Structure 1
Amino acid sequence: MEKATENQELTSMLLKDEKSTLDLLSADKISFNGNTVHLKMTYKLPEDIAAIKMEYVIDAFGQITIKSAIQNLKKALPNLPRFGTNFIVNKDLNQVNWYGRGPLENYQDRKTSQFVGNYKSSVSELYFPYIRPQENGYRTDVRWVTFTNNLGQGIKVLGPENIGFSAHHQYNSDFDAGETKQQRHTIDIKKRDFVNINIDNDQMGVGGDTSWWTRPLEQYQIKAKNQSFSYIIIPIQ
């Protein structure tokens, strides 16, 4: 099977248009009919703990509707740190405008000081340099967010419900100390030549209300259960 990432395996890829369905993992030729295509992909997580289903509906104007679902979870799994999607765009799309909480970073259980409004920032300015590299620069209760170049061209992301997002010139893993808990510092975080975007339905709260080891309150946890969310990417010309 084709590998999707280091920790998930692509098990099916179906492309649907108005008249037919095509299995891309075994197809020799792809043809399109009409003005819309529908791509469905299924991933298997390690040890069959769950399945991830991704659906993309792409129209002739370049609009992409994305639905992400996690299903068939094994019992007694721990809470999810986040439920969302991650993708990379050209480094030139480094101007960010969002309508949501800001201007500073905020999280489910650390957001009331950041009011809902229309904010602008560069991708670099979204980064908060914690002395020990970790998750940073998140924004919650976002109605829409745009990523554009200096000419105002790019993409707009919006959902039927509020989303959360972060964007950096680094991979998510650049901020993760890993299983060996490497002792890294801000000087170890290097700027890369792309924009890495997270669009989330939810991210777990920070916790630590009484100490660094205190888990987030119940309402700020993400239970391991079947769930889905969707959003739209619209091109900005």
Structure 2
Amino acid sequence: GIWKFAGKNAKLQSIDLKEDSSKKQATVTANYRLEAQESTLQTIYQILPNGVIKVSMHFMPGNKALPEMPRLGMRMILPAEYDVMTWLGRGPQENYADRKTGYPIGLYTATVWEQFHPYVRAQETGNKTDVRWVALRNKAGEGLLITGEEPLNVSAWNFPLEDIDYVAFNTERRHGGSIMKKDMVWLNIDHRHMGVGGDNTWGAQVHPEYTITPHEWQYSFTIQPLSTQDNAAEKAHKKWF
């Protein structure tokens, strides 16, 4: 529970902009304090003249004992038109750290809405593991390409996280079939995502090797624009093969 609003409640401590006129690029560094977790978080955005943004995130815990994290990463919201997702990773169905061996690494394409599974209780859905790169495009073929420095966990939804978040027993329960498609694409770009657990089909905990221990973590990825004539996705594919 301590992680539920960690990102939302993070307090910005400083933000710094450095421009390099010789390379025509800029670097934005933001430092945050996670008060409840007694931890710090740094994000660095290196903005290049061709529209490419290199993103790095660095999490550093303090001395406070903390429970495992459900996920560690970043998210962004895109206009609804960018709803065709292509990825090089495991698929085609959703898969998680402890539920992925039956899902081969390959090149897959699906709409964002097709990847949502309406569980009896609305909950986490649609994750893809070992993702080398992911592209989100509109019908014209324009969009964004995200390439990880190492394999990522990626998911995209047509609704905000709050729509499928856990609801306590004494409040309204939401059936997955009641989730409505909204005018947005919510993209999760995660470094780590915990496993599913439930070896006994119900309450068994996630095995330790598939949990996220709150020690120092850092990861990075690149965001670049895609045009209808762009071959950036092809280049990203060749990088991994």
Compute the TM-score of the two structures, normalised by the length of structure 2.
Answer: 0.86
What amino acid is aligned across from residue 227 of structure 1 in structure 2?
W
CA-to-aligned-CA distance 1:189-220 (integer Å, 9 cap, x gap): 22211100000111000011135222211110
Flag structure 1 segments of 5+ consecutive residues without an equivalent.
Answer: 20-32
Give yes or no for the alignment of 1:127 onto 2:116: yes
CA contact (8 A) 1:159 1:232 kept: yes
- 1:44-59 aligned within 5 A: 44-47=33-36, 49-59=38-48
Distance 1:178 1:204, change over 3 A: same
Q: Which residue of 2 aligns with 1:231?
A: 221
CA-to-aligned-CA distance 1:155-194 (integer Å, 9 cap, x gap): 1111121011000011112111345653111344222111
TM superposition shift of 1:108: 0.3
TM superposition shift of 1:43: 1.6
Question: 2:54 & 2:160 partners in 1: Cα distance?
Answer: 24
Moved more, 61-70 or 34-43: 34-43
Name the SS of the counterpart of 1:10 in structure 2: strand
Distance 1:133 1:80, change over 3 A: same
Compute the TM-score of the two structures, normalised by the length of structure 1.
Answer: 0.88
What amino acid is aligned across from residue 170 of structure 1 in structure 2?
F
Give yes or no for the alignment of 1:209 onto 2:199: yes
Q: Which residue of 2 aligns with 1:61?
A: 50
Q: Which residue of 2 aligns with 1:22?
A: none
Question: 2:190 & 2:205 partners in 1: Cα distance?
Answer: 20
Question: 2:118 & 2:109 partners in 1: Cα distance?
Answer: 19
What amino acid is aligned across from residue 226 of structure 1 in structure 2?
E
Q: Which residue of 2 aligns with 1:176?
A: 165
Q: Which residue of 2 aligns with 1:146?
A: 135
Name the SS of the counterpart of 1:47 in structure 2: coil
CA contact (8 A) 1:97 1:120 kept: yes
Question: 1:8 & 1:176 partners in 2: Cα distance?
Answer: 19
Flag structure 2 segments of 5+ consecutive residues without an equivalent.
Answer: 1-5, 228-241
Question: 1:34 & 1:108 partners in 2: Cα distance?
Answer: 40
What amino acid is aligned across from residue 91 of structure 2 in structure 1?
G
Give yes or no for the alignment of 1:88 onto 2:77: yes
Give yes or no for the alignment of 1:218 onto 2:208: yes
CA contact (8 A) 1:73 1:224 kept: no
Q: Which has the higher strand share?
A: 1
Name the SS of the counterpart of 2:57 in structure 1: strand
Moved more, 66-75 or 91-100: 66-75
Q: 15, 18, 27: which one pairs with 1:16?
A: 18
- 1:68-107 aligned within 5 A: 68-107=57-96
What amino acid is aligned across from residue 90 of structure 1 in structure 2?
P
Distance 1:13 1:111, change over 3 A: same
Question: 1:211 & 1:74 partners in 2: Cα distance?
Answer: 36
Give yes or no for the alignment of 1:195 onto 2:185: yes
Distance 1:5 1:108, change over 3 A: closer
TM superposition shift of 1:49: 2.0
Q: 24, 39, 55: which one pairs with 2:28?
A: 39
Q: Which residue of 1 aligns with 2:150?
A: 161
TM superposition shift of 1:103: 0.4
CA contact (8 A) 2:94 2:126 kept: yes
4+ long deviations beyond 6 Å: none
Question: 1:132 & 1:114 partners in 2: Cα distance?
Answer: 24
CA contact (8 A) 1:177 1:184 kept: no
| Alignment length (residue pairs) | 221
